[in-house]
Chains A and B, each alone.
Chain A
Amino acid sequence: MRDDLQLISDWIPQGATLLDLGCGDGTLLAWLGEHKQTRGYGLEINQDNLAACFEKGVNVLEQDLDSGLGNFQDGRFDYVVMTQALQAVLRPDQILNEMVRVGREAIITFPNFGHWWVRSYLAFKGRMPVSSALPYQWYNTPNIHLCTVQDFETHCRKHNVQILERQVINRHHRSGFLAKLWPNLFGEIAIYRVKA
């Protein structure tokens, strides 16, 4: 399982109810269902991913995150999870509000655009950064709203979203000493647990 998914699964307690936004092939939901008896649904629009979820027996609903979560009631889920999709939605601020409305807590992961590699790539090469966390070219990237750890935290403070926990993992996918000390510089992927 992807490192950020591994970290998330550690945060989710036994028997929790989940909504996984952009659930991909259902890996996280399947793993949590099996190991922690969680129940829930994934939202996905990619056909291959839907088919993979169907095969796995993961509940998945074809629904575009950009059309909101209006069909889910307040506090319907223990956790609303969104991994590596915040930067790809039309309005990250609105989806974040929806997540903390529908979930008692929300877990979000995104690639940190403040990471030193990204900064130096742009600074020295003068080109849009490409890395393992950001594998696309400028013209085909689905990532339209990239942000840094600092951007995200400033936004949360301004909009009364409480940050309960933060983890950053570095290029070697470890939660190293430097990344703990200077997350905005040494964290490649940021993982947050937040609530309204």
Chain B
Amino acid sequence: MPQQIPADSVGLVEPKTHHFDTPLELECGRTLPAYDLVYETYGTLNSNASNAVLICHALSGHHHAAGYHSEDDKRPGWWDTCIGPGKVIDTNRFFVVCLNNLGGCHGSSGPSSINPETGQPWGPDFPMMTIKDWVNSQVRLADVLGIQRWAAVIGGSMGGMQALQWSIDYPERLSHSVVIAAAPKLSAQNIAFNEVARQSILTDPNFHGGRYYLHDTYPRQGLILARMVGHITYLSDDAMRMKFGRDLRAGRFHYGFDVEFQVESYLRHQGEVFSRNFDANTYLLMTKALDYFDPAREFEDNLETALAQPSCKFLIMSFTSDWRFAPERSREIVDGLVHAGRDVSYAEIDTPKGHDAFLLDIPEYVKLFGAYMHRVANEVESGVNTVENTNA
């Protein structure tokens, strides 16, 4: 943690865990008999529970979106740029909830947690999850917290897909859906990159068919490689050029295979750090959840029909240099919503930062996102959309 907690930080936060005993039926046909969800909250829930905002995390995210866990934390939660007092998602006005998705490796039930039936880690036996399953589990968390209707469900990348799925599956339970740097489904190229990442894990000799916990090891090299490939897709060509160019670490060629270019050093470092903090089975599971995401599938492959289900208002945002989920992919969502006559606004943020831009403090992004959230907060405080909040 910095010497002093910044005034616009939510400060020290503590995760909470809720145990669910009601079985959760999953899209894959299996059932999760019981499970834990770990989550954090920031801000205060108002008396009629109308100011709650759900943050959905992306591929490598978790429940710790803002603030610090301890005085020793070097870095705040993953979306601290946007969540805090006076920030875009203003914790003086909103009650913010962020959870670790099922199948995760940060406290919610997942492959690395113990399967009560066997007394051993689930490993590869943990059921495959989908975006829809996550939304269903999030609905239960909302019920526990007494939130009948979210003021907004917000997410970037895979989180945006959850925000979109919410609007389709539970139209009466959210007023706004904010979908950032997402897509209505993955392209063949997106799936291809995910598959390379998965193969690097699956073929690591330390993977042991996903039961590496029992061998007291983990597919470190596979995870590093998976993250390196992923990271290339999060940055843009321009961002890499600006950040590293062809800079050499030692200033000259060594004519060998050790790290020479700065970009190599960066990718290896990112992979290294990631491999220490992320479970390989979770990575496999979450990339599959991404691949399976296709809300139009339930509606005869017609995205417009799918997008006729929501009744909430939408903010869709994309970034010009994002080639993982390019602006065209966001515009597919926008076009579908316009076709269906839904309330939607769209902004395309001009930045060289690539897919990762949604996590960064980019002035135009913060300004527009902030303007939208300001309006959401005003609606909450003037009592719009609160009629159905009777559960509080």
Contact = CB atoms under 8 A, between A and B. Distances in A.
B364 to A, nearest CB: 6
Interface residues of A, number: 22
B343 interface: yes
Contacts of B345: 50, 53-54, 58-61
Contacts of A50: 345, 347, 368, 371
Contact of A55 (B338, B343, B346, B374): B374
Contacts of B229: none
Given A47-B364, A50-B368, A54-B368, A71 B346 contact: no
Interface string A21-55: 00000000000000000010100000100111111
B307 to A, nearest CB: 14
A55 B335 contact: no
B367 interface: yes
A73 B339 contact: yes
A54 B338 contact: no
A54 B344 contact: no
Contacts of A72: 338
A41 B313 CA distance: 13
Contacts, number: 53
Nearest to B318: A62
A59 B316 CA distance: 11
Nearest to A51: B371
Contacts of B116: none
Interface in B319-360: 331, 334-335, 338-339, 341, 343-348
A71 B375 contact: no
B78 interface: no
Given A54-B372, A54-B375, A71-B335, A59 B343 contact: yes
A13 interface: no
B375 A51 contact: no
A40 B249 CA distance: 55
B240 interface: no
Interface string B31-43: 0000000000000
Given A41-B338, A56-B375, A71-B338, A51 B368 contact: yes
A52 B356 CA distance: 26
A41 to B, nearest CB: 6
A57 interface: yes
B364 A39 contact: no
B315 interface: yes
Interface in A148-166: none
B371 A55 contact: yes
Nearest to B363: A47
Given A56-B375, A71-B331, A51 B346 contact: no
A62 B331 CA distance: 10
Interface in B368-389: 368, 371-372, 374-375, 379
A52 B346 CA distance: 13
Interface of B: 313, 315, 331, 334-335, 338-339, 341, 343-348, 364, 367-368, 371-372, 374-375, 379
5 contacts: A47-B368, A54-B345, A54-B375, A59-B344, A76-B338
